[in-house]
Amino acid sequence: MRERIYRTEALILRRSDLGEADRLMLLATPGGKRRVLARGIRKTTSKLAGHLELFTRVGLLLAIGRTFDIVTQSEIRDSHATLRAELPRLSCAYYAAELYDRFSEEDDEHPDLYAMLAQTFAALDRGANPDLALRWYELRLLHLTGYRPQLHHCVVCQDVLTEAASRFSPTLGGVLCPKHEDADRAAITMSGAAFRLVRYLQSQPLMAVEGLRLSPAVRSEAEGLLRAYLRHLLERDLRSVAFLDEVLRIE
């Protein structure tokens, strides 16, 4: 049982106004997704207001409440100011936050999932390749939540895949070898470059993304493969996808 007052680190994923001065916030924490209340935060005299911006990484002191736990103290640990100031990076953060929300449960302790999201927000804030950071994040999230796509062995026969493989099946959850490429007639045709990219991202740390130099076509194709798989799992596109696409199209 938790103490009546406890500390946690958190990423602020969503905020909504409640009543005349309060704000309800959705957090990612090492102890799982959590909804908390910041009382009086919309008042001009609130000491919490500047510490609880969207997508900020914070340290919080919370008191257990009847419906929602209450934020009593906060400190900024990483403001992610660039992420919030640049629209393309901001749109990526909205997408990452919504994806976390869909694949996590409230108060389901998962420190690895939190650490991954914190690492991704830092990369979106400072990295040179925010779109590739998202691809890494998608693959890592799928791995941690039990939906890792099969990219190294045929999803049908488990044979080791070679670069001759050219079909990805969102329905079956991975790549098909040449002799089983008709196992899913709706499978997506995949170039060798995109295949190499998603396999690389699945097996490498996020810092390795920073050195990649790839054509827009390959990046777009990898995005399409993973989006199709996520669409199959979630049975629809995320709400933030349209915003993300619109912003990146403007860019």
Query: For 190-201, how does the pLDDT look when each residue is reduced to its tens digit (9 = 90+)?
Result: 999 999 999 999
3-state helix, strand, coil in the chain (%, to 5): 45, 25, 35
Domains of the chain: which residue ranges? 5-79, 82-250
The chain-wide mean pLDDT, for the chain, equals: 93
Q: 82-250: same fold as 5-79? A: no
Q: What is the pLDDT of residue 146?
A: 97
From the options 3.40.50.1370, 1.20.1440.120, 2.60.40.720, 2.30.30.100, give the CATH code of 82-250: 1.20.1440.120
Query: For 115-141, how does the pLDDT look when each residue is reduced to its tens digit (9 = 90+)?
Result: 999 999 999 999 989 999 999 999 999
Residues in the chain: 251
Q: pLDDT of the chain along its 251 residues, tens only?
A: 456 999 999 999 999 988 888 999 999 999 999 999 998 888 876 777 778 999 999 999 999 988 899 999 999 999 999 999 999 999 999 999 999 999 998 888 999 999 999 999 999 999 989 999 999 999 999 999 999 999 999 999 999 999 999 999 999 999 999 999 999 999 999 999 999 999 999 999 999 988 899 999 999 999 999 999 999 999 999 999 988 888 876 55
Q: What is the pLDDT of residue 94?
A: 96
In CATH, the architecture of 5-79 is Beta Barrel (2.40)
Q: First-to-last CA distance in the chain?
A: 49
